[in-house]
Structure 1
Amino acid sequence: MTGDRSSRRAFLRRGAAVTLPAAVAGCQFRDETPETTTPDRDQTTDSPTPTTPTSRERLAAAYDDRFDEYVDVVAAGASPDGSEPIDDVLERVVADDTLAYVPAGTYRVNSLRVEDVSNAGLVAESPAETSLVPGRPAVDIGHQFLQFHGVSDFLFEGFTLDYRASGAGGATQVFSRGDFAVRDLRVRGTMPDESLPGNPAAFRFDVREESATGTVEHVVARDGGHDGGNAVGLYVGAAHAGTLEFVDCEVRNFPNNGLYASAPGRDDEALRGRDGTVHVRGGRYANNNIANVRLGSTDSTARDVTVVVDERPPSHAGAMNARGLRIRNRSGIVVEDCEIRIGEDAGEGFGGLVFHPNAGTSTIRDTTIRVDRDDTPAVRALDDDAADPSPGPTFENVTVTGSAAGGWAVEIAGRADVAFEDCTVSGTGPGRNGLSFTACENCVVDGGEIDVPGIPVRGRRSTVETLDVRTGDALDSEQ
């Protein structure tokens, strides 16, 4: 076996430095030596003749010689024209200490299942020209398209998953017992969720070892699901116990969450998760119903993420709730340097940034939330227990803005120790109010500015202190 675990982890997390398109896809090795005249016959030279590296040589260089074997799946028997399913070939060649590489082409897969391999990979040699196409309808394969279970030190990179045929689609799953990296995948076509039971997810990722890390980078799924369907874009299961990183992904138009990553943090009779951490870095999540990004495990983060709802997303069973970012459970979650936009044509929803009653302490920092849909809050913390408020979030240098008319820009209910520090809350729509606290204790608005046509700050059965806030109106407090 080549290398040790620490070097593999460093490789798996290296990301764009060795991503396949730059490293191997369509590589052209051009001789940059200027032209010279033809030498005399009696001249000799000791310079070697340039040669074009083989696929194996290019891949070995791109992946730091970490594999013992490099297998061309076509040479191993896979049909590159989609004429025959290649499941049996892949199940044979995706093996320990082996990189299976797939030349350009269209490959038919019925329902692939790879289990218990270590230091293994399946990569497209030419990502822009390599597609995997379901050979059977999703209903016939139980929605299980690509399954990689019990894997460790695993790579899956560079494919288009083509779901454009009627009824085509299914889940891509990675359940790991060690590190893994999934990069540069694109879904073309809509998930066939109108014909599938439950909550079918285009992708599911679980790191089931506490010390392991999974990286999901540049996964693009823009076509989403159907109105009336129930598809999820990216799902993290309750069994996730390690660390997951979602980097620069793009997920749009799913009726049941874009990135649904709160299940590991559940701890109730209905579901007990293993509280694995999830970090979202960069990316764009747009027009997904229920939540575009949904976090809920201890110390999870969202940084440099863009969330947009500017049209009515597809919804399941008429359940429209077009939230931007939702914090569902646990404490220690950080949202930083993010942008959340709720447009005037967005579907109805609880707000741009929404805290479930079970959500504990969190920090929202250097983030902008713009709401242009009337009567929709930018921030909403739902009531936990008015008789015994639990600690709530802290907001630092957060900007709330937009043209929404009516309602409150910020609604906090049943929370204690909520702090707004150097935040700006503004709005131009008629009847738009600032911050509302209901049944809250020991809350503070410290510094910053509130500029709204209506009431700047209101407390109802709450203790709220305002310090050095730039606004012309005083606190409106009714006990």
Structure 2
Amino acid sequence: MERRELLKRAGVGGAVGVTGIVAYDRLRDDGEPAGAGESAPNDSDPPAEDDEEPPPRYADEFGTVADVVRAGADPSGSEPIGDVLTDLAGDDTLLSFPAGTYRFPRVELSGFDHLGIAAAGDERPTFRAPAGSCGDMGRHARFLDVTDFLLDGIDFEFGAEGAGGSVAVIAAGDAVVRDVTVEGSCRNQTSMFRMEIRNPDGTGVAENVRVRDDQDSTWMTGAYVGEEHSGEITFRGCEFSEFTDNGLYGSAPGVEGGGDGAVHTVDGRFENNNISNIRLGSTGSTARGDSVVVESAPDAERVNLRGIRFRRGSEQTVEDCEVRFGSAVRESFGAIVYHADNRGARVIDSHVTVDSDGVPAVRAFYATDEAGGAPVLEGLTIDGEARRGFAVDVEGRNGTSIRNCAIEQSGGNRDGIRLAYSEDCELVDSRVDVTGYPLILRDASVAIRNTTFVTPDGERHVDRMDAGPGDFRPEAWAS
């Protein structure tokens, strides 16, 4: 199979006709391939179309397809299926699951090339963990060093007493996880879902993955990308909500010595995740078309609610995203935050609404790297009724660029942009309309071009000005 062929074709659901199957080694109850020992049909016999079963999904993508029920798996949930899984798993093999509930013990499958585990049809099978199955490491399903791996259409149910663990795909090559849910957890686990591609040329897709922690764990991550991720992963249409330690924790590959693989999220939904809803930190990682809503904090040991957080790395991009912070939020560094160790990222064509008093829409902390890292805000709309504080607060970031932005904050004593200890910045083709000071410079310089400042006392348009530390102090706005 050509590289990435599984990735290209896994996005197309639906059954294929029997004639499209290259090899369909479906197993009978006795373990032999269906048709073994049976005489060939007579050409004169009429076709028994009503007796034909449609092949399972993805059947034409694998050399061997095993119907796990015919191979002995119990779809009633009474008998564990661990031995069936380990016996049937192999290279170029699809394990096809008819609808049903399967008793799912802790399982690790490793080292397989082109292995698939998928629902046979449109009805989703449930993998139910037995009570008392939590392990020391909080793992439950682990697919390790697999290549061209497929996991599709499975509901993992970990709601029994003492049941659960993470679902982890740690791939040595391409991998697809699609239409998968995980519900419930162990007290000692740290993440619900983990995915990483350890081959720099490998690609991973997590599509329509939804996870929920029913144990109210005080320190839990929705989806975690490990340090050794060196390929590329896209989370598409995924949902992560109410997690106490990040919704999507994608920054670990950016640590010193990490794989620095790119992490992308597209059209995701993130709600009320503590620490950050989306956390990016490897080179070239992106968030596009995502929706982030923060109205309240989960029950966590420490609370610092952030919508999107740039942690480590550089060259990350947020584009066409919506971030909304409700009025009840108080404990937050900001809706979009540049951590001190981030070396520069872009936020473009996005919309941030902040109704949280004192919480900035964008905050960039003083860069710890001597090379710094300039935030780029372009086509950004900031609105909302937040009072006090700054809409945009930047410290120690030379070269900060704010272009074609619209900032309108209607809450009392709300200031617009604060640039501190930052040289050679630019503010171009923008409008700042606030109840406080539209622009404050502290030991900073900024080239202002075609920008309008609005305060309750009036409007001031600046066509061209190179402003320095002595300009735009608070008293400069006094009427």
Q: TM-score per shorter chain, which class?
A: 0.7 to 0.9
* Gap change, CA 1:310 and 1:412, over 3 Å in 2: same
Q: Residue type matched to 1:439 in 2?
A: Y
Q: What residue in structure 2 maps to residue 106 of structure 1?
A: 101
* Gap change, CA 1:385 and 1:156, over 3 Å in 2: closer
2:208 aligned with 1:218, yes or no? yes
- CA displacement 1:277-313 (0-9 Å, x = unmatched): 1111111011110000000000111100111111222
Please say if residues 389 and 416 of structure 1, whose CA atoms lie closer than 8 Å, have aligned partners that are also in contact: no
- Selected match of 2:261 from 259, 263, 276: 276
Q: What residue in structure 1 maps to residue 341 of structure 2?
A: 358
- Selected match of 2:473 from 446, 457, 477: 477
- CA displacement 1:355-401 (0-9 Å, x = unmatched): 11111122211000111111000000011259x57131111100011
Please say if residues 460 and 478 of structure 1, whose CA atoms lie closer than 8 Å, have aligned partners that are also in contact: no
* Gap change, CA 1:130 and 1:212, over 3 Å in 2: same
* Gap change, CA 1:347 and 1:160, over 3 Å in 2: farther
Aligned counterparts of 2:371 and 2:113: Cα–Cα separation in 1? 48
Q: Residue type matched to 2:227 in 1?
A: A
Give the stretch that moved more between structures: 91-100 or 176-185. Answer: 91-100
* Gap change, CA 1:224 and 1:424, over 3 Å in 2: farther
- CA displacement 1:46-78 (0-9 Å, x = unmatched): 9966446425x243xx45x22111101111111
Give the stretch that moved more between structures: 402-411 or 466-475. Answer: 466-475
* Gap change, CA 1:48 and 1:102, over 3 Å in 2: closer
Aligned counterparts of 1:400 and 1:222: Cα–Cα separation in 2? 31
- CA displacement 1:103-145 (0-9 Å, x = unmatched): 1111111211001111110012246441111124354353111
Gap regions ≥5 residues in structure 2: 17-44, 454-458, 463-470
Q: What residue in structure 2 maps to residue 72 of structure 1?
A: 67
Q: Residue type matched to 1:91 in 2?
A: T
Shift of 1:314: 2.8
- Selected match of 2:305 from 297, 302, 322: 322
Q: What residue in structure 1 maps to residue 195 of structure 2?
A: 205
- Selected match of 1:407 from 367, 379, 389: 389
Aligned counterparts of 2:355 and 2:214: Cα–Cα separation in 1? 24
2:61 is paired with a residue whose SS is coil
Q: Residue type matched to 2:424 in 1?
A: N
1:205 is paired with a residue whose SS is strand
Please say if residues 94 and 122 of structure 1, whose CA atoms lie closer than 8 Å, have aligned partners that are also in contact: no
Q: Residue type matched to 1:275 in 2?
A: D
Gap regions ≥5 residues in structure 1: 25-45
Please say if residues 110 and 136 of structure 1, whose CA atoms lie closer than 8 Å, have aligned partners that are also in contact: no
2:164 aligned with 1:169, yes or no? yes
Shift of 1:450: 0.5
Q: Residue type matched to 1:477 in 2?
A: R
Please say if residues 302 and 334 of structure 1, whose CA atoms lie closer than 8 Å, have aligned partners that are also in contact: yes
Q: What residue in structure 2 maps to residue 239 of structure 1?
A: 228
Shift of 1:466: 1.9
Q: What residue in structure 2 maps to residue 34 of structure 1?
A: none
Aligned counterparts of 1:127 and 1:47: Cα–Cα separation in 2? 29
* Gap change, CA 1:434 and 1:96, over 3 Å in 2: same
RMSD: 2.2
Q: Residue type matched to 2:379 in 1?
A: N
- Selected match of 1:332 from 310, 315, 318: 315
Q: What residue in structure 1 maps to residue 287 of structure 2?
A: 302
Q: Residue type matched to 1:397 in 2?
A: G
Shift of 1:4: 2.7
Aligned counterparts of 1:117 and 1:148: Cα–Cα separation in 2? 9
* Gap change, CA 1:322 and 1:128, over 3 Å in 2: farther
2:79 is paired with a residue whose SS is strand
Q: Residue type matched to 2:289 in 1?
A: D
Q: What residue in structure 2 maps to residue 31 of structure 1?
A: none
Shift of 1:441: 1.1
Identity over aligned pairs, percent: 36
Q: What residue in structure 2 maps to residue 36 of structure 1?
A: none
- Selected match of 2:120 from 125, 130, 133: 125
Q: What residue in structure 2 maps to residue 7 of structure 1?
A: 5
- Selected match of 2:417 from 419, 435, 441: 435
Q: Residue type matched to 1:170 in 2?
A: G
Matches within 5 A, 1:83-162: 83-126=78-121, 128-137=123-132, 139-140=134-135, 142-162=137-157
Aligned counterparts of 1:139 and 1:175: Cα–Cα separation in 2? 20
Please say if residues 330 and 358 of structure 2, whose CA atoms lie closer than 8 Å, have aligned partners that are also in contact: no
Aligned counterparts of 2:241 and 2:214: Cα–Cα separation in 1? 6
2:331 aligned with 1:348, yes or no? yes
Please say if residues 313 and 346 of structure 1, whose CA atoms lie closer than 8 Å, have aligned partners that are also in contact: no
Please say if residues 296 and 330 of structure 1, whose CA atoms lie closer than 8 Å, have aligned partners that are also in contact: yes
1:352 is paired with a residue whose SS is strand
Shift of 1:167: 2.5
Shift of 1:347: 5.0
Q: What residue in structure 2 maps to residue 42 of structure 1?
A: none
* TM score, norm. by length of structure 1: 0.86
2:432 aligned with 1:450, yes or no? yes
Aligned counterparts of 1:49 and 1:162: Cα–Cα separation in 2? 39
1:324 is paired with a residue whose SS is strand
2:306 is paired with a residue whose SS is coil
